[in-house]
Structure 1
Amino acid sequence: MRTFHQVAAAALATGALTAGILYGTGVAGADTGSHGHPGSEPENIGLLTGQIDDYYGATQAADGTWQASPDSPYAHDLAAIEARAEHDIAAETAGGHHTGARHGKPAIVLDVDDTALLSFTYERDTNYVYTDATWNAFVSKADRPAVYGMPGLVSYAKKHGVTVFFLTGLAENLRDPAVQNLRKDGYDTDLDRTHFFTKDKTAPPAYLADCATAAAWNCTTVQFKAGTRQHLEASGYDIIGNFGDQQSDLTGGHADHTYKLPNPTYFVE
């Protein structure tokens, strides 16, 4: 289950407010967030959704799914971030020697939703209204396209001797379709339980004991993700790059470099 704060576009349009949900009021570009000004009128929701379509270069395929264009502003923003990340990976591993401050085994950590796998068609089809049932059914199909350029970035990292980890807020019961989807999209890397971390609320790992037990999960997104990165560091890795489409994927430290991918469709606190 994705647990994020957003106000669904449809709810805004009707004046209804969905508890615990908040959308931004603008396009979140590379390494930026999207926040309105207190007391100011939010952007018109009809104009905003049109801007989101333009940003993604939205087109509807023959099967009805919504696609992002490879020459869209979104794709160009991704390319710039990925180029910077590859430059940093090369610098950190120059000459086959890791130069990171912690001198552990070099690693990168990637979020899954809208960092590795693109969910734009879900947002578009549901008019930006999230529910557990529709989201779980969507993820279970295992047919999301890769976020442009990210399989290549993973391959680039691996060629430079970097271990790749995925760290997702997806529930444990969605592990298998997510792994299947990543493999189908060309992520040629280890995707076992030691390299792919989900939010397992029924059997949380011991390193999250401060906020999660089998009886109660109280971890925020930041606690869950930062705690897992800290665990990887304790296991001998230096996370030279941490990638996410939400600031909460990146906050909390335990990474030498962070890369905020664009996502104007929802906000995860």
Structure 2
Amino acid sequence: MRLVVVFLFLATVSATCHANCFIEQVVHQIHPLRPRSGAGGYRLENINCQSWRLAVETKNIINWKLVPEACEGYIGHYMLGKQYRKDCETVANVAIEYAKSLTLAGDGKDIWVFDIDETTLSNMPYYARSDVQFGALPYNDTKFNEWVAEGTAPPVPASLRLYQTLLPLGFKIVFLTGTAERFRAIRTSNLKAAGYHTWEKLILKGEADKGTTALVYKSKKRTELVNSGYRVLGNMGDQWSDILGDNAGDRTFKVPDPMYYIG
């Protein structure tokens, strides 16, 4: 069954539902997307989509532009199904274990850096649309910015749980995103509505960093933090460019994202 089934379901999600119930609800809607080969492998035209996703997550496949057409259904099944949720929970569990093992200095300079898109906030309602199809169609900057401007992205539940654990431990939270500075007000309200109510800094991409790669931009911003006295003890993102480069942090954690690649 086409992914439009998922899109139609998303349109019916009650507006009164709290943001963090979104992924919990869509888990059950994915069942019409039947695997095309054993164990959800989607083996078509010599592409095994499980293997393709593993290669993406381990950075063996880089600089890719689109999800292979043969894997569109598989990626939709994964992102809206239970496995994505479980994978994110595993990352959060390991991060929480690490955070609890630390003894913080207590001077307010121990920080945890979070990316936003597909790390703390989910753009699943956007990527499930029939004109996006989980990264199988070309990225449209205008359409995506229109979605961001709506300010309705729900949280990634596992990341929200990590965030809620870090605050009472004494960590200061820094959100570091490639979102343009002009969206500061809407991103602020979206984060708060999703449950992220407190942070030390929200760093967005300004005109001075326009045209730089994500890796260069995020390295630069983390270095500025370190030079001002902060210690990056933890860093979480969905892209390798979030967690590589200068001053990446004492420990880095990657949540899965097979829908797009940002270098």
Q: Could you tell me the TM-score, scaled by structure 1's length?
A: 0.70
The equivalences for 1:111-122 within 5 A come to 111-122=115-126
Q: Distance in 1 between matches of 2:55 and 2:196?
A: 24
Contact kept in structure 2, 1:170 and 1:198, CA below 8 Å: yes
Contact kept in structure 1, 2:112 and 2:173, CA below 8 Å: yes
Q: Distance in 2 between matches of 1:183 and 1:196?
A: 12
1:4 paired residue number? none
2:35 paired residue number? none
Higher helix share: 2
Tell me which of 147, 151, 162 is aligned to 1:142. Answer: 151
Q: Look up the SS of the partner of 1:27 in the other structure.
A: helix
Q: Distance in 2 between matches of 1:116 and 1:246?
A: 13
Q: Look up the SS of the partner of 1:242 in the other structure.
A: strand
Q: Look up the SS of the partner of 1:165 in the other structure.
A: strand
In structure 2, what residue type is equivalent to 1:198?
L
Q: CA deviation at 1:131?
A: 1.4
2:174 paired residue number? 165
Residue 130 and residue 258 in structure 1: after superposition, are their counterparts in 2 closer, same or farther (change >3 A)? Answer: same
2:99 paired residue number? 89
Q: CA deviation at 1:176?
A: 1.4
Q: Distance in 2 between matches of 1:106 and 1:231?
A: 14
Deviations 1:77-99 (A, max 9, x none): 11111011011111122xxx449
Q: Distance in 1 between matches of 2:223 and 2:153?
A: 29
Q: Distance in 1 between matches of 2:231 and 2:260?
A: 30
Residue identity over aligned pairs, in percent, reads: 28
1:105 paired residue number? 109
Q: Do structure 1's residue 26 and structure 2's residue 52 form an aligned pair?
A: yes
Q: Do structure 1's residue 244 and structure 2's residue 225 form an aligned pair?
A: no
In structure 1, what residue type is equivalent to 2:178?
G
Aligned length: 205
Q: Do structure 1's residue 50 and structure 2's residue 73 form an aligned pair?
A: yes
In structure 2, what residue type is equivalent to 1:141?
E
Q: Look up the SS of the partner of 1:92 in the other structure.
A: coil
Q: CA deviation at 1:53?
A: 1.7
* Unaligned 5+ runs, structure 2: 1-49
The equivalences for 1:64-83 within 5 A come to 69=81, 72-83=82-93
Q: Look up the SS of the partner of 1:52 in the other structure.
A: helix
Residue 185 and residue 43 in structure 1: after superposition, are their counterparts in 2 closer, same or farther (change >3 A)? Answer: closer
Deviations 1:38-92 (A, max 9, x none): xxxx99613x111112212x3xxxxxxxxxx5xx111111111101101111112
Q: Distance in 2 between matches of 1:104 and 1:30?
A: 36
Q: Look up the SS of the partner of 1:186 in the other structure.
A: coil
Residue 108 and residue 98 in structure 1: after superposition, are their counterparts in 2 closer, same or farther (change >3 A)? Answer: same
1:19 paired residue number? none
The equivalences for 1:122-141 within 5 A come to 122-125=126-129, 126-127=132-133, 128=135, 129-141=138-150
Q: Could you tell me the TM-score, scaled by structure 2's length?
A: 0.71
Contact kept in structure 1, 2:87 and 2:256, CA below 8 Å: yes
Q: Distance in 2 between matches of 1:82 and 1:139?
A: 25
RMSD of equivalent CA atoms: 2.6
Contact kept in structure 2, 1:154 and 1:187, CA below 8 Å: yes
